[in-house]
Amino acid sequence: MSDDHHLIETAYALHVSEHYRRASEELLHAYQRNKEANRHHEAGAYKAALHHVKLSKHHAFNAHEHLKEALVISEKISQSDASFSQRAGILGKSGLQ
C-alpha cells in the first residue's frame, strides 16, 4: 500500500509542477503583451494597445486556471496524506501491519 501511495503522490506532484510551469509561461506572455500594449499606448496606437491588453488578459486568465488546478491537486495530496497517516496509525496500533 505504501508503494501505491508513493506512486500516486509522485504522479500528483508531476501534474502540479506541470500546472506551475504552464502558469509561469502564461504569466510571462501576459507580461510581454502588457509591455507591448504600453508601448502602443504611448505611441498613440490605441487600437493596437487594446488588442494587446485583451491578449494579456487572456494569458493572465489561463495562468489563473492553471494555478487553481494546481491548488485542487495539492489539496487532494494533503487529504490523501492525512487519510494514509490515519490508516497507518490504526493498523500500527492494532498490530495488523
- Give the tens place of pLDDT for each residue, 36-94: 999 999 999 999 999 999 999 999 999 999 999 999 999 988 887 777 666 666 555 55
Question: CB burial class (10 A; 0-12, 13-18, 19+) of residue 93?
Answer: exposed
Q: Are 52 and 36 in contact (CB under 8 A)?
A: yes
Task: Tell me the pLDDT tens digit for each residue of 10-44.
Answer: 888 999 999 999 999 999 999 999 999 999 999 99
Q: Cα–Cα distance between 15 and 65 in angstroms, integer?
A: 14
- Is residue 95 over pLDDT 60? no
Q: Cα–Cα distance between 67 and 96 in angstroms, integer?
A: 40
Segments making up each domain of the chain, as ranges:
18-94
Q: Are 40 and 48 in contact (CB under 8 A)?
A: yes
- DSSP code of residue 44: T
Residue 78: what pLDDT? 85
pTM of the model: 0.76
